[in-house]
Amino acid sequence: MIQKHRVTQADIARMLDVSPALVALVVGRSNSPLRHSVKKETAERIRSKAAELGYRPNRAAQMTRSGRSNLIIHLNRGGFSDVARQISYHIGRMVHKAGFNLQTLDAYWWEDEGDETIEQVLAFQPEGLIVSGGVKTESDFGEVHRANIPMVAAGLELPGLPLVGYDARSVIARLTRHCLQNGRMPALVFRVSARHFWQITDRERGYRDALAEAGYKNFPEVNIASGVWEETGPGIIADSGMGNLAHPFEDGMCVGQWLLQNPRLPNALICSNDHYAIGIMTVLKRAGIRIPEDVVITGFDNLEYASQGSVGLTSVEQPIEAFCQTSFDLLMEKMGRQSAGTGKKEHTLIHPCRIHWRESSRCSKTDTNQIETCGTPVSTPAHVAA
């Protein structure tokens, strides 16, 4: 069998009468600052010849020569959720802009997936690892530390790493105060299975902060699987469902149907995400419940369709690009060090969120079509640092 000659960078250099080093800067995915100094016409000529010859980088040879993979892995533990897609986009853009190759590993929380994804990370021998999403599957990141692979988290709390995220606590407290100040008794709606996540824990803390300020020290928690809502004051509505990313509004619609079967209907609902809020709104509106006149509703994530319905949903915008950039900058800093994992939490970096006030929470004429920033610029709040 005649084996086809593998086109090399040296072949391209010889045909174009340029240096191999110049070719490497253009098609070798080099992260050298010199790559920006190559003339546009020259770079296009090299890329065109590489495409014509069917050139493909020999990753194994590159690693052997340089001792580096020039690869950053993004382990995205968010499945195909809207937020996960946004995080993936921003991190991918930052990795490519810095001149590195990118390998995205999407995780969907299947059983035993944690160990498998860690094995994949180690097999790729990356120069850095960014983890995002919600780690529902246990993973031994200790293997990554022991392999001396620099690692950071984006919008996620992992042991031994800086916490880079967003101030959900302050923004949920602001929404709760808004309801209380307008005579509403808000109930917080969230999924029980997600309660151990830092992101959800902080939302519950913000809710409790605002109620404590208003003098509410004790209030009930009702699980829709076994409880009945008979309250005239605030409380927590817990959904024990596991969630279905293929039908994201399903859980919210189940909560809405449960609410309609109860003796009382809360006059305000603070939902932990937009899927819950929109699912609940859909069911209540079909039953003739007026929003916001009968029930004020707020969401979280400010997804694209939050503003598209007949009643715009007041929702919280996560600073996704900002915390991704902070995490990526931390990774670049770690990759510049000789030792990767210190095993110590170095610092906490929390970005403010923005509330998009829309009709679903309107209590006065000035409550809609405004954007409000909640939280301070990147900081270390005492409640998180503790």
Asked if the peptide bond before residue 263 counts as cis, ω within 30 degrees of 0, the response is no
% of the chain surpassing 90 pLDDT = 45
Q: In this structure, what token pair is assigned to residue 264? A: 């009382």
Mean pLDDT on 272-286? 95
107 φ/ψ angles, rounded to the nearest 5 degrees: -115, 140
pLDDT for residue 342 is more than 80: no
Q: Which pLDDT score is estimated for 346?
A: 54
What is the C-alpha R_g of the chain? 25
263 φ/ψ angles, rounded to the nearest 5 degrees: -60, -35
Q: Return the higher-pLDDT residue of 249 and 33.
A: 249
Highest mean pLDDT, choosing among 12-26, 72-86, 140-154, 263-277? 263-277
pLDDT for residue 109 is more than 70: no
**Residue in 114, 90, 112, 92 with CA at minimum distance from that of residue 101:** 92
pLDDT for residue 376 is more than 90: no
pLDDT band at 52 (very low <50, low <70, confident <90, very high): confident
The Cα 333–Cα 330 span in angstroms is 5
The Cα 228–Cα 225 span in angstroms is 9
The Cα 127–Cα 384 span in angstroms is 29
Q: Return the higher-pLDDT residue of 381 and 103.
A: 103
Q: Return the higher-pLDDT residue of 175 and 120.
A: 175
Q: Which pLDDT score is estimated for 79?
A: 66
Q: Which pLDDT score is estimated for 348?
A: 80
pLDDT for residue 383 is more than 50: no
pLDDT for residue 241 is more than 70: yes
Mean pLDDT on 66-83? 79
- DSSP letter at 246 equals T
pLDDT band at 40 (very low <50, low <70, confident <90, very high): confident
Q: Return the higher-pLDDT residue of 317 and 159.
A: 317
**Residue in 367, 352, 376 with CA at minimum distance from that of residue 179:** 367
The Cα 242–Cα 192 span in angstroms is 9
For 259-278, write each residue's pLDDT tens digit. Answer: 999 999 999 999 999 999 99
If you count DSSP H runs as helices and E runs as strands, how many of each does the chain have, helices first?
13, 14
Q: Return the higher-pLDDT residue of 67 and 307.
A: 307
Number of residues that make up the chain: 386
Q: Return the higher-pLDDT residue of 10 and 379.
A: 10
pLDDT for residue 182 is more than 90: yes
Q: Which pLDDT score is estimated for 30?
A: 59
Q: Extract long-range pairs of 62-65: CB within 8 Å, 24+ residues apart.
A: 62/28, 63/125
Q: Which pLDDT score is estimated for 362?
A: 87
Q: Which pLDDT score is estimated for 199?
A: 82
Q: In this structure, what token pair is assigned to residue 154? A: 């984006």
SS3 245: coil
Q: Which pLDDT score is estimated for 4?
A: 56
Burial environment of residue 75 by CB neighbours within 10 A (0 to 12, 13 to 18, 19 or more): buried
Q: Where are the beta strands (DSSP E) in 225-321?
A: 235-239, 268-271, 296-298, 315-317
pLDDT for residue 316 is more than 60: yes
CB atoms near residue 142 (< 10 Å): 13
The H-or-E segment that residue 349 falls in is strand 348-351
pLDDT for residue 367 is more than 80: no
pLDDT for residue 212 is more than 70: yes
CB atoms near residue 89 (< 10 Å): 13
- The helix, strand and coil proportions of the chain, stated in percent and rounded to the nearest 5, come to 40, 20, 40
pLDDT for residue 319 is more than 60: yes
% of the chain surpassing 70 pLDDT = 81
C-alpha distances in Å from residue 258, one per residue of 4, 94, 251, 287? 66, 44, 11, 12
The Cα 64–Cα 56 span in angstroms is 16
Mean pLDDT on 351-359? 95
C-alpha distances in Å from residue 311, one per residue of 50, 51, 214, 293? 54, 51, 29, 12
Single-letter residue type at 378? V
